[in-house]
Amino acid sequence: MMISVGVQKLLIVSCLLLGVLSSTRHEYAQGHIRDRDNLESAATIPNETSLTPEFFPSEGSKRTKISYGPFEVPNMNINNGMISHFTLNIDIGCKDCIVTWMQAGLEYPDGSYANANTSLWLHHTVLYNMNNLDTVCGANVQGERFFASGNERMEVDLSNSGTNTAGYFVGANDTIGFLVELMNQAMENQTAVVTITYEYIPGHPTTFNEITPVWLDIGGCSTSEMPAKNETTFQYTSPVWSANVTGRITFEVGHIHDGGTYVQIAENNSTICDSQASYGQTPGYVDPSGSMSMGAGMVSPMSNMGKHISSMSKCTNGQLNLGDELSITAYYNTSEYEAMTNTDGSLSSIMGIALLYLAANETAASTTGATPTTSRAVSSSSTGAAAIVTTGPALVVGVLSGMLALGFA
């Protein structure tokens, strides 16, 4: 077995992560991480399928669908059917490339579709660039969270269908972390394969601006989970974040859980985006008949019963300047839409997140062809910034301090 020095370092980090994370049940929900006592590495070699690229063909763009797993997901009577996996250093199809589009999916090992109608949920997946700092939370979270998806599986269309020469740059030596949380609402164990499709341009064309991801969360930098309330309307607002980066917004989308209606993004107290939830738009997002969500013989008081969030609307414009104050508010109406419950019937916690993507240092007036920049956002809260670096033991320190800061004492 060939193990390079670099890989050995990663294995050390990986072991440390796994060792620390598996030692206790805890909540460390930044970036959607929630340990369910079963963190492990997806050891299998990912499967890769080439697809036809949709944007920037003149730049030699490529589209590839990568499968991760398989993951065994326990039945609903074990830990509410939830399981989490964290893998450090996954293959995303390219290095030294500009990623312009991403979308997650969930399948069975035979390639067939898995969703709420088959009682298998892509509860969350998150990608982290371990070599960068998170723009909003700095060293208080691990790495830079540049992609996330709930079961609604929204596309992250960084270039807005090829109308912006912009994308997320992945460096040749960047290490990508992959978190996935899966949920099984069936009485039997199920096996899932997570897919992420990436469209990218090899290299870094000089005409392309680098995208900076901005993760805003009702839990701020300490958690992504808040308690739900039943049969009522309620909302949570995030802490205000003062922008430490300038850029044109190319894409923004919210994430909430069932029971949620929309995520509002405010800039300097004005709404710049309402990301609205839609429910049950396709059969995958409607419970199979005889769902366990209501007992036999009970009549649903809600017409939306058994329907789950199937998409969130996006926004594709806006401008962020240094010092602009950003916040989000997640709105819920659990009278109208059924909130998620645990196996024992108690309410599951909810989330409220918005991901904004900025073409860094670009202004709204200068769209395509703007001067590219390699500057990165440096978080004002990143006192431990230097800890996360590309090589050596410092990476270990950085990851560990990031994890410890998540409060699992």
Q: Which residues of 181-220 are buried (b: 16+ CB within 10 A; e: fewer)?
A: bbbbbeeeebebbbbbbbbbbeebeeebbbbbbbbbbbbb
Q: Taking CB under 5 A as the rule, does residue 83 contact Cu ion?
A: no
Candidate segments 97-105, 158-166, 183-191, 343-351, binder of Cu ion by CB under 5 A: 343-351
Nearest distance from C-beta of residue 376 to Cu ion, angstroms: 27
Q: Diameter of the chain by CA atoms?
A: 64
Nearest distance from C-beta of residue 194 to Cu ion, angstroms: 15
Closer by beta carbon to Cu ion, 39 or else 94? 39
Candidate segments 75-83, 143-151, 265-273, 356-364, binder of Cu ion by CB under 5 A: 143-151
The string of DSSP codes covering 90-119 is ---S-SSEEEEEEEEEEE-TTS-B-SGGGT
Dist. CA 313–CA 296, nearest whole Å: 35
Residue 174 carries which DSSP code? -
Q: Taking CB under 5 A as the rule, does residue 226 contact Cu ion?
A: no
Closer by beta carbon to Cu ion, 260 or else 402? 260
Site residue total, Cu ion (CB under 5 A): 2
Q: Taking CB under 5 A as the rule, does residue 148 contact Cu ion?
A: no
Q: Taking CB under 5 A as the rule, does residue 20 contact Cu ion?
A: no
Q: Taking CB under 5 A as the rule, does residue 351 contact Cu ion?
A: yes
Nearest distance from C-beta of residue 304 to Cu ion, angstroms: 19
Nearest distance from C-beta of residue 245 to Cu ion, angstroms: 25
User: Which residue has its beta carbon closest to Cu ion?
Assistant: 351
Nearest distance from C-beta of residue 405 to Cu ion, angstroms: 21
Closer by beta carbon to Cu ion, 27 or else 91? 27
Nearest distance from C-beta of residue 381 to Cu ion, angstroms: 23
Residue 299 carries which DSSP code? P
Q: Taking CB under 5 A as the rule, does residue 216 contact Cu ion?
A: no
User: Own/partner pairs for 112-118, CB < 8 Å, 24+ apart?
Assistant: 113/284, 114/190, 114/192, 115/151, 115/284, 115/285, 116/151, 116/185, 116/284, 116/285, 116/286, 116/287, 116/308, 117/283, 117/284, 117/285, 117/286, 117/287, 117/288, 118/186, 118/190, 118/284, 118/288
Q: Which residues of this protein are in contact with Cu ion, per CB under 5 A?
A: 150, 351
